[in-house]
Structure 1
């Protein structure tokens, strides 16, 4: 079994966590942001997933 797919999945997970952490930092830096930890975490990962989807579209477009 190739380790490449596992490595790519791990890299994708790490990038997702990085994007979510950056989004969370943005939320918490805004004094007007409302919500608790659960809402912030959900929103952060929603933004991270959107960023990964956009990234995938751009990578696919470059490869065409």
Structure 2
């Protein structure tokens, strides 16, 4: 007998590769050289946004 939950279980979707990372001290996403990612138009066009998903996983009102 197969457990019911395994019928709907899916592998987690991997995080996409990005050219920016979240800096907790500045509380925003930055490029490798330390500049804010939101100021780089090329990054915005490629990524669509630079919004961090950290809060969205725990709060519904983010």
Q: Which has the higher helix share?
A: 1
* TM-score of the aligned structures, taking structure 2 as reference length: 0.26
Structure (1 or 2) with the larger CA radius of gyration: 2
TM-score by length of 1: 0.25
Q: Using CA pairs under 8 Å that are at least 6 residues apart, name the structure with larger relative contact order, 1 or 2.
A: 1
Where is the strand percentage greater, Structure 1 or Structure 2?
A: 2
